[in-house]
């Protein structure tokens, strides 16, 4: 599953850029270091729809559209876990 690091500035900007993923995923190694194992893309529907007439696509791949969460929904469904020198936003529990 890995550790997911979310860049909220990119999540809320309404832009998809293959060179700037909103989420990067790392695997913790036995020596305490992290290895990059993946990336994911996330755009909020409200932010996207404000400046784009068509559904989001990235390199020809269509995105699924879901309603944007409210701030209170986000706070209820995402919680922070802290580790040595890092903050991790895990998936919904």
pLDDT over 70, % of the chain: 69
Token pair in block for residue 87: 């903050």
At 8 the three-state DSSP class reads helix
pLDDT digit string (tens) for 74-88?
444 444 444 444 444
Number of CB atoms found within 10 A of residue 5's CB? 17
Q: At residue 56, does pLDDT exceed 60?
A: yes
The residue extents of the domains of the chain are 3-88
pLDDT digit string (tens) for 15-27?
999 999 999 999 9
Q: At residue 30, does pLDDT exceed 90?
A: yes
pLDDT over 90, % of the chain: 35
pLDDT at site 31: 94
More confident residue, 64 or 34: 34
pLDDT at site 23: 93
On whether the CB atoms of residues 40 and 22 are closer than 8 A, the answer is: yes
């Amino acid at each position: 599953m890995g550790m997911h690091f979310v860049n909220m500035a990119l999540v809320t900007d309404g832009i998809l850029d293959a060179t700037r993923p909103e989420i990067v995923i790392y695997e913790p190694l036995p020596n305490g270091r992290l290895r990059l194992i993946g990336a994911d893309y996330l755009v909020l529907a409200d932010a996207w729809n404000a400046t784009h007439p068509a559904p989001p696509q990235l390199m020809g791949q269509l995105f699924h559209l879901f309603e944007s969460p409210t701030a209170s929904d986000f706070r209820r469904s995402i919680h922070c876990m802290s580790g040595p020198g890092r903050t991790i936003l895990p998936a919904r529990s």
